[in-house]
Amino acid sequence: MPTWRHKKPKKEDYHKRRSKDEGLALIDAAHLAVHRLYCDAFGFWRSCEVKPCKRHRRCCGQPTQCLTRGLPGVPQAERERAEKEVIAGGPRRVPLSSHVEHTVRRSEFAKLVS
């Protein structure tokens, strides 16, 4: 038998919980991904000043700033349509990257923006 199978496990090998900083980073990444999906659903890339956004026809810059800038001009019916589209994964049907993103996608739009 190979020698690596006979090694005794260390205490740090069993540590499966993430730290507080890792959890906050995961939450921030989920919010950023959902903001990007909302920007794509609203089509804010059409009027964006960042050239890669127009070139790739999706949000490539700062999605939070783009969302707060373009949101006042979006009617309520469009917001409700975009909310359903984001739950499905946006226009490109992007799969979930973590369990935190699952809950952030399904949170109310008003809570997400505030």
pLDDT at site 3: 61
pLDDT at site 111: 85
CA distance 38 to 23: 23
Average pLDDT of each block of 10 consecutive residues along the chain (114 residues)? 66 74 93 94 90 90 90 93 94 92 91 81
CA distance 96 to 101: 6
pLDDT at site 14: 66
CA distance 50 to 80: 26
CA distance 1 to 94: 44
pLDDT at site 103: 94
What's this model's pTM, rounded to 2 decimal places?
Answer: 0.82
